[in-house]
Amino acid sequence: MNTTAKAHGMDGALVEPDWPPLTLDEVRALLSGFPGCGEPIEILTVSPRPFSAASVAGTQNGRVFIKRHHRSVRDREGLLEEHRFLNYLHAHGAPVPRVFADSFGESAIEIGEWTYEVHEAPVGLDLYEDALSWTPFRSTGHARAAGEALARLHRAAQGYDAPRRKAQPLVAGFTIFAAEDPDAELQRYLAARPALTTDAAVRQSCREALDLLAPFHAELQPLLHAIDPLWTHNDLHASNLLWSDAGDEARAVAVIDFGLADRTNAVHDLAQAIERNLVEWIGLMQNPARGEELRVHLDHLEALLVGYESVRPLTGEEAAALAPMTALCHAEFALSEADYFLGVLHSKEKAKLALDDYLAGHARWFRGAGGRKLLDAIGRWAEGRKRQGAVFVGVED
């Protein structure tokens, strides 16, 4: 179990956390308002995720998961947006953890500068506990299981009609490239986030990314009218799943961490899963000039899509939209990260990584030969599924 106070750095290294880890005394005071959870005994894990402090705690009544956010990142209402979605998913059979409420019925607890939440700790193995967001699946079986889990989540989310989330850091929405005029929508996005409007590096990276991504937006735009809005997870990488066992054919038995969730659509969420899990982006950060050599797991792509469609087949328009959406889906979260780094941590150095390496850097890659390999493979899949019995055309790169 991970009980050290280290966090994942943006370059893949372990670094000192931005937020102090939870303490047993702190957990004891919080859980005193949650009588069903029992008296805390020990801190079992310390999450290496960088944007909050989170731990699994052992109590007299079992294990619970606790996360603490700075209120500038998640205030009560911002956290309740996530909890209402989780409660809906749980009520509709999705494999997600229950959100606990205190004796006053509150699930988002503000204490001083912090906002806390308490969840059940679902049964399942955290096989990717220490894995970075861009760590690939261990096997094609895991990729297929992740696709199945995402599709089940989308089926359960049908009918949840809450509006998009309010402007706040660290949300992976889909507004800029959902608009007919991305430039105008980008200006509205920036205006709602003051930390982004005063930084010259933001304007420079946004201009470059808009220009690079324009062909993908032009390809996607005619298809969007046929794609229904849906509340989605937007961060389905392997470490946000719990697993039935440690084998290569393990099932995904729970989906966790809905911090990036918002009202987008199923294609956007599937594209995020492809972008998060199949491209080893850390290599691009280490050597931007060698993007063509970046490893892309096309065998995992096939498995992920087969798993997804075994539960929820895509429409023709959704399948056709997947390639351009995969090139576009990273952009809004990169900006949201930059907003967090500038507005909360006041770190221009980290914001530069989000803007140049993530926002513009990923856009450069998708326009190059490396990105084309991935997008062409998705395009071949979309064409092949039109023909009954067609096989996926792709190999491990």
User: pLDDT tens digits for 46-88?
Assistant: 999 899 999 999 999 999 999 999 999 999 999 999 999 999 9
Strands 62-70 and 114-120, bridge-based pairing: antiparallel
Shortest CA distance to 381 belongs to which of 369, 362, 394, 370?
A: 394
pLDDT over 50 at 393, yes or no: no
Average pLDDT over residues 270-285: 93
pLDDT over 80 at 395, yes or no: no
CB 208 within 8 A of CB 360: yes
pLDDT over 80 at 25, yes or no: yes
pLDDT of residue 62: 95
User: Average pLDDT, whole number, for the chain?
Assistant: 93
pLDDT over 90 at 383, yes or no: yes
pLDDT of residue 238: 95
pLDDT over 80 at 1, yes or no: no
pLDDT over 70 at 111, yes or no: yes
Report residue 7's pLDDT band, with 50, 70 and 90 as the boundaries: low
- Global model pTM greater than 0.85: yes
Q: What is the CATH number of domain 140-384?
A: 3.90.1200.10
pLDDT of residue 16: 81
pLDDT of residue 13: 61
pLDDT of residue 154: 98
Average pLDDT over residues 17-33: 95
Residue identified by tokens 């493979």 is: 377
pLDDT of residue 9: 53
Report residue 284's pLDDT band, with 50, 70 and 90 as the boundaries: confident
pLDDT of residue 288: 80
User: What residues does each domain of the chain span?
Assistant: 7-120, 140-384
Q: Which fold has domain 7-120?
A: Phosphorylase Kinase; domain 1 (3.30.200)
**pLDDT one-digit tens code per residue, 309-329:** 999 999 999 999 999 999 999
Average pLDDT over residues 178-195: 97
| Cβ atoms < 10 Å from Cβ of 196 | 22
Residue identified by tokens 């947006």 is: 81
Question: For the chain, what percent of residues have pLDDT higher than 70?
Answer: 94
